[in-house]
């Protein structure tokens, strides 16, 4: 399967994408400007090539305009003493997190456990040994919920 590119679009489809993404028009308004019937625009937007072009245009617009603008807004709010300390602290953490500068939490430092199917015999034995108390507790709970379904032996009743 080949990747879809802007060259896969007709000129009319390119205009539709441009009106929606770059100019921020509603789909109905963009359809009218691009020469589509307003009711057919949603069918056109679901075409794989058009949907891919919309997605790609949004990504390019976000990288070129949205991200730098968001950064400048965040930076100005962080520097503005009139903005509450709580908002500035929250924004600081978000900016640092997105930039990859947040110290890992305890949860992040815990190594992820292998799936049981990927563990060796020794690793499984070690896991069982480390978690035996929890295993016993769960087995006890399950046993207490179990119902006896064995057949009770009774004296056969003979009629004479």
Residues 99 and 120 in one domain: no
pTM exceeding 0.75:
no
16 assigned to some structural domain: yes
Q: Which residues of the chain have pLDDT under 50?
A: 1-4
Residues 39 and 93 in one domain: yes
- Tell me the pLDDT tens digit for each residue of 84-124: 999 999 998 888 888 888 766 666 666 677 888 888 999 88
95 assigned to some structural domain: yes
Residues 83 and 33 in one domain: yes
Q: What is the pLDDT of residue 1?
A: 36
Quote the number of domains for the chain: 2
Q: What is the pLDDT of residue 160?
A: 59
Rounded to an integer, what is the distance from CA 66 to the centroid of its chain? 21
Q: Residue 48, exposed/middle/buried by CB under 10 A (0-12, 13-18, 19+)?
A: exposed
Q: What is the pLDDT of residue 2?
A: 40
Q: 30-36, long-range: CB within 8 Å, 24+ apart, which pairs?
A: 36/12
């040994």: which residue's tokens?
129
């057949």: which residue's tokens?
151
């Amino acid at each position: 399967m080949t990747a879809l590119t802007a060259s896969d679009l007709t000129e009319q489809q390119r205009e539709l994408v441009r009106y929606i993404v770059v100019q921020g028009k509603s789909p109905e308004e963009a359809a009218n400007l691009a020469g589509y019937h307003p009711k057919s625009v949603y069918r056109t937007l679901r075409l794989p090539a058009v949907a891919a072009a919309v997605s790609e245009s949004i990504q390019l617009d976000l990288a070129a305009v949205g991200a730098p603008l968001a950064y400048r807004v965040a930076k100005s709010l962080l520097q503005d003493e009139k903005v509450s300390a709580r908002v500035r602290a929250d924004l600081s953490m978000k900016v640092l997190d997105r930039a990859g500068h947040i110290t890992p939490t305890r949860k992040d430092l815990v190594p992820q456990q292998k799936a049981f199917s990927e563990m060796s015999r020794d690793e499984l034995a070690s896991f069982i040994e480390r978690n035996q108390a929890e295993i016993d507790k769960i087995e006890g709970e399950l046993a207490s919920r179990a119902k006896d379904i064995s057949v009770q032996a009774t004296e056969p009743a003979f009629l004479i």
